[in-house]
Structure 1
Amino acid sequence: MHALNPLRRRSALAVAMLSLACLAGPSHAASGPTVPDLLDLPARESARAQHSLQLAVARAGERLVAVGERGAVLLSDDAGRSWRQAKSVPVSVALTDVHFVSASHGWAVGHSGVVLHSADGGETWQRQLDGSQAAVVVRDDAKRRAEAGEEGAAAALRSAEYLVTDGPDKPFLGVRFADELHGYVVGAYGLALHTADGGKSWQSLVGQVPNPRGKHLYQVQIEGSTLLIAGEQGALFRSSDAGASFAEIRTPYSGTFFGALELDGDALLAFGLRGNAWRSEDGGASWQQVKLGQPVTVSAGRRLQDGSVLLADEGGRLLRSTDGARSFVALAVQPGTGLTGIAEAADGALVLSSAHGLSRVEPDALTTGERISGINASGAK
């Protein structure tokens, strides 16, 4: 893991998370001595929860589930037209990502290294992991590797000891499950864990991901047995064996990627800060920049059910591609600034999370817009 001054690393993470969430005021995430309190303090009911900072939204069968600041979990059973709070959430830390593998089973992650599980479609949640427990998992794995004489394990063990000493102050930023048993979480300072029993126990992936400098990891995606992790400083890592091993994908961009998508064939799309979007036709061997028209951070992306690709940026633009992310159309609809997440409702509408809450975009709004520049002809290796 990275050996830079911890204060400098925290500053770098704070800047990136500020950009991702478009926070207009002071953060509600806890730090210092208040962290244990928020881990043990159940989320409170709030009449303004629907209009508070929401960082991610996902489908749970026909239902939609959104997560955000202060442990807020919001549920919609009418395709995003109305929302209510979950009945029970055991923490009040900010929740950064959520994923469901069925109408019942889902997981959410967030600040203080928390992992939550729901078995009833998001109505109630149980804490499965926190940052203190995650640090011990990482340390014990690093110790095992050091005792076995693995290259770089001694340095990893020293860094892992710092994790344990620091306590639960490192956020998880991404979560994906392949099924009700096998799942993956990633986060700050290169944190990466997986479970094979639905979150009852966790194992470290830090030794498998070739990330010795501990770059922050913002997203993990699953496509069959393939995992794709995106992070800061142009970091992309891929596993073709369900996480048993990872390879670094080198990119021409040195800034933060907030996400990456597997496209048809061997094509990839990575997106992030300052309007950067890069496409590869050959699994990452070479890259071409996709011009998006404005230097505004792209904070979310997903493939829709019709095969098109949708990106969302902090300025409130929705960018849609129907040619495999070679070019994009800026949709005419204006859902508001500070977009953080995208879900597709059962009726084909888009449901968006943002710094200002949740909004719904009707299906017919996806067909009108203005074409913008596509792939940069010069490309890059």
Structure 2
Amino acid sequence: MRQLIAYLVCITVAGVVALAFTPREPKPVADTELNTARMQVNGLLNLGKRQVAVGERGTILISENRGQTWQQATVQPQRHISLTGLAALDGEHLVAVGQDGWILRSQDAGASWQEVHLEADTGEPLLGAWAASGQQVFAFGSYGKFYQSDDAGASWQALLLPVDRAHLNAMDGDRTGRRMLVGEQGLVMRSADSGQHWQQLPAFYNGSLFGVVRLSAERWVTYGMRGNVFVTDNFGETWQAIKVDSSQPLYGHVLLPGDAGVLIVGAGSAMVRLDGKGRLLASQRQAGLGTLTSAIVVGTGQVLVAGERGVFQGNGNPVAALNQGESLHEAR
């Protein structure tokens, strides 16, 4: 079981991140450029003027030029344990989570981070974070761990969900109070009242689900092991399998601007593109990127992806993915 948990820590991303904020002017970060060629990155976030990445050995990276170069953020205290995901409440307040129940908080757009929670004695990881509106943010992970903060991540309360200690991998939701939470063995939970009550949906898949994304109030997509992708048009009442020409597990996604759908990434450099109605547009590989865990959109449609080989830039520089001149429609 511990081997399974360690595997999930390396490859599972936070369920949902914000793509476009209007932050205040970010504080400057150290000007020492880092080589991310061999750095495992587990989560990406775009704040508009700044991009943030988290990964192995407690590393948090900052870019202020759309992923071309990266500097290291300040973490207090610095612990050499993996970070698995991050979320933003707004352009300034961020939360990152990782192994040993580690939770970090930033109030300056990711330039500096402070530890607010740690459970070093358990050795059990948190696998993702999701921010709701206002001050509310959630962290979740192994053995049904589920925490809620109502003060922008400053303090946390453990909540009990009826999930029988299943690993919780990803979460998404909207401002109307609709939320979904997915995990191992096909677990899908939904709430229509901002998480006050949760309902476990009937199983439609017996493998682990690593991600979930809301396309509209009724239309949601979930994905996971062996390239499985499912879409619902009735908030989870029924699900339809999307036939993807890949058996590689899928670990992360990014919503595309202008209701253009979603790009899902995974092992074997897999990239799956769905339109805004959840229909398959493309299922391809970007050779040489290895296992991908996360993606963001920057600028006017440039997609950056990250994973086991850092954040790549298709021109050969190991810092983000796809050529700088490629658009969403040109990406392969």
Shorter chain as normaliser: what TM range? 0.7 to 0.9
Structure 1 equivalent of residue 105 of structure 2:
117
Deviation for aligned residue 1:256: 0.3
Identity within the alignment, %: 26
In structure 2, the partner of 1:337 is 290
Q: CA deviation at 1:117?
A: 0.4
What is the CA–CA distance in structure 2 between the aligned matches of 1:279 and 1:179, rounded to whole Å? 25
- In the aligned structure 2, how far is the partner of 1:108 from the partner of 1:192? 14
Q: CA separation of 1:18/1:47 partners in 2, compared to 1, >3 Å: closer, same or farther?
A: closer
Q: Deviations over 1:330-358 (max 9, x none)?
A: 35754611101111113321121210000
CA deviations 1:236-262 (Å, max 9, x no partner) are 111222221111122310100001112
Counterpart of 2:129 in structure 1 is 175
Q: Which structure has the highest strand share of the two?
A: 2
TM-score, normalised by the number of residues in structure 1: 0.74
* Ranges in structure 2 where 5+ consecutive residues have no aligned partner: 14-31, 312-319
Cα contact 2:180–2:212 (8 A) shared by 1: yes
Structure 1 residue 53 corresponds to structure 2 residue 40: yes
Whole-Å separation in 2 of the counterparts to 1:19 and 1:105: 24
User: Quick check: 1:234–1:253 contact (8 Å CA) kept in 2?
Assistant: yes
Q: Taking structure 1 as reference, are residues 325 and 94 closer, same or farther at Cα in structure 2, changes over 3 Å only?
A: same
Query: What is the deviation of 1:201?
Result: 2.4
Please name the residue that 1:184 is paired with.
138
- Match of residue 360 from structure 1: 321
* TM-score (norm: length of structure 2): 0.84
**Deviations 1:60-95 (Å, cap 9, x if unpaired)?**
242100000011101111111111111334222100
Do the aligned partners of 2:136 and 2:149 also contact (CA within 8 Å) in 1?
Answer: yes
Q: Matches of 1:268 and 1:53 in 2, distance apart?
A: 29
Give 3-state SS (helix, strand or coil) of 1:230's partner. strand
Structure 2 Cα separation of the partners of residues 126 and 17 of structure 1: 21
Equivalent in the alignment of 1:234: 186
Give the drift of 1:200: 2.8
What amino acid does structure 1 have at the position aligned with 2:2?
Answer: R
What's the offset of the Cα at 1:291? Answer: 1.0
Residues 5 and 125, structure 2, Cα contact 8 Å, conserved in 1: no
Deviation at 1:265, TM superposition (A): 4.0
Deviation, structure 1 residue 168: 3.5
C-alpha separation in 2, matches of 1:87 and 1:292: 41
CA distance in 1, matches of 2:243, 2:112: 43
Matched-pair contact (CA < 8 Å) for 1:108–1:175? yes
Corresponding residue number in structure 2 for 1:373: none
> For the Cα contact (< 8 Å) 2:56–2:82, is it kept in 1?
yes
* Stretch of structure 1 that moved more, 111-120 or 101-110: 101-110
Post-superposition CA distance 1:277-315 (Å, at most 9, x none): 111122222221111101110111232112211111211
Distance 1:292 1:256, change over 3 A: same
- Of 63, 75, 89, which residue of structure 2 is paired with 1:76? 63
Confirm or deny that 1:324 pairs with 2:316.
no
Root-mean-square deviation (CA), in Å? Answer: 2.3
After superposition, the C-alpha distances for 1:113-156 in whole angstroms (9 at most, x for unaligned) are: 01100011111100111126xxxxxxxxxxxxxxxxxxxxxxxx
Q: CA deviation at 1:179?
A: 4.0
Cα distance in 1, alignment partners of residues 34 and 67 from structure 2: 17
Deviation string 1:155-179 (CA, Å, 9 cap, x unpaired) is xxxxxxxxxxxx2311111111224
Distance 1:341 1:303 in 2: 11
Amino acid at match of 1:71: G
SS of alignment partner, residue 364 of structure 1 = coil
* CA distance in 1: counterparts of 2:330 and 2:43, whole angstroms: 25
Hey, what's the Cα distance between the residues in 1 that align with 2:184 and 2:89? 27
Q: What is the distance in 2 between the residues matched to 1:69 and 1:332?
A: 24
Q: Show the counterpart of 1:348.
A: 301
Write the distance in 1 (CA, Å) between the matches of 2:7 and 2:93.
Answer: 33
Is 1:14 paired with 2:2? no
One-letter identity of the residue aligned with 1:273: M
Segments of 5+ residues of structure 1 without an aligned counterpart are 1-8, 22-44, 133-166, 371-381
Q: CA 1:53/1:363 → structure 2, altered by over 3 Å: closer, same or farther?
A: same
Matched, 1:261 2:223: no
For residues 177 and 17 of structure 1, what CA distance do their matches in structure 2 show? 20
Query: Amino acid of the residue matched to residue 190 of structure 1?
Result: G
Match of 2:226 in 1: 274
Distance 1:240 1:57, change over 3 A: same
Query: Aligned partners of 2:217 and 2:245: how far apart in 1?
Result: 27
1:315 is aligned to 2:268: yes
